[in-house]
Amino acid sequence: MQTGKRLVSLIGVLALLLSLLVSFAQVEAASGPEVVVLSVKGTINPALSRYVTRGINAAGKRQADLVVIQLDTPGGLDEAMREIIQDIVNAPLPVAVYVAPAGARAASAGTFITIAAHIAAMSPGTEIGAAHPVALGQSGQGDSVLEGKVLNDAVAYITSLAELRSRNIDWAGKAVRESASVHASEAQALGVVDLVVPDLPSLLQAIDGRTVELLDKRQVTLETSSARVTYVNMSLAEDFLFTISNPNVAFILLSLAMLALFFELANPGAIFPGVIGAILLLLSLFSLGTLPINWAGFLLVVLAFAMFALEVFVTSHGILGLGAIVALVLGGMLLISSGAPPSLRVHPGLIAGVAAGTAAYFIFVVQAVYRSRKQPKVTGYEELIGQTAVVRTPLAPRGMVFFRGERWEAEVDQGRVEAGESVEVVGVLGLKLRVVKR
């Protein structure tokens, strides 16, 4: 019995030691080198900027050794781009930008972000450049002085970043002034990026042992060859906000909001369309708030639906409806500022599709309204006109008739009608019927 107790105690001690060893091994593993990877794919906008800020801050709190931003972007908003660059430059740990996978690009704002990184890398089959401010040259006879200021500001910004990272200053200036663009191997040869590698493991292997200087002059030697990789993805909220921070989505949300609110106004008390319309309207306003919106375009979209609604209640012989379609198309085209990059414009095909679908819907509604107006009344006193009643007491000119299972007081317009004869209802005076002999 005593031997059994000792055996149980020994097993317990061994189990405790084993759990401590496992915990120690886990702590050792957790304290080893770590690389945090962020995926930035799509147009640079405030939602992506907030995601990068959160990712870099999270990596700093985890005391990670490196942040890798895997980048594929056609460009985006200047303000969001600068926020991302500030996060990179002021990061408490090294940040690498890796333009990948094959077929990806770091165009426009992406060029600035790549050059700002402590380590810039590209995958074969990728490209970088075309960083000329899109607003320039699109305004026709615009203010040349203002355009010059915008261009010079962009050149000064990108060359300062290139100088900070000891990259090709001349090419950086050409990327802005002349929209210069190069593929991966040429970018490496020109000193625009540091290396070209096929995948993330190759990148971590290639930069292992490299020393990086942070903004506070600290020298950090990277240990990445055997580092564990942690992917920090967008949260559901960030992913949702990024999805709706799209000009095409914003245009669809605004159009659906107007349709739902119109349906609520046309059918007071339906409630559900009004609730959905209000939600969609708020979402569309948030989406537009992240974009360089042109308020003239927004008001044209609202005006279009106002004219569609008036077409239902006002006989304009189609003039209001035609004007609404024109306003909707113009509103979609002007919704985003003309100085925005092409990736931030509403697609013409989408504008045409929404305009056609909306027009078809309102044509259906208008036709239904016109048909209902032409149909005979089926409620109220109007439905009694033309119906037949049977005389119960002689009408001379007043008497009683039997109508729809009830006795009604009636008055004949001319002559006398005997009991049992039929009469036709021609009017209603309060609770008395006006009839004529059939």
Find where tokens 């890398």 sit: 121
Q: What is the DSSP letter of 257?
A: H
Contact 95, 64 (CB under 8 A): no
Q: Can you tell me the distance from the alpha carbon of 365 to that of 309, in angstroms, rounded to the nearest whole number?
A: 10
Taking the C-alpha atoms of residue 332 and residue 249, their distance in angstroms, rounded to an integer, is: 12
Instruction: Spell out the residues 6+ positions from residue 333 whose beta carbon is closer than 8 angstroms to its own.
Output: 297, 346, 348, 351
Burial of 202 (0-12, 13-18, 19+ CB in 10 A): middle
Q: How far apart are the C-alpha atoms of 179 and 340, rounded to whole Å? A: 16
**Token code pair at residue 350:** 């989408």
Give CA torsion, residues 370, 371, 373, 378, to 10 deg. Answer: -160
What residues are labeled active site? 108, 149
Distance CA(121)–CA(210), nearest Å, equals 14
**What are 122's two structure tokens?**
């590209």
Query: How many other C-beta atoms lie within 10 A of the C-beta of residue 303?
Result: 16
Sign of CA dihedral 420, 422, 427, 428: positive
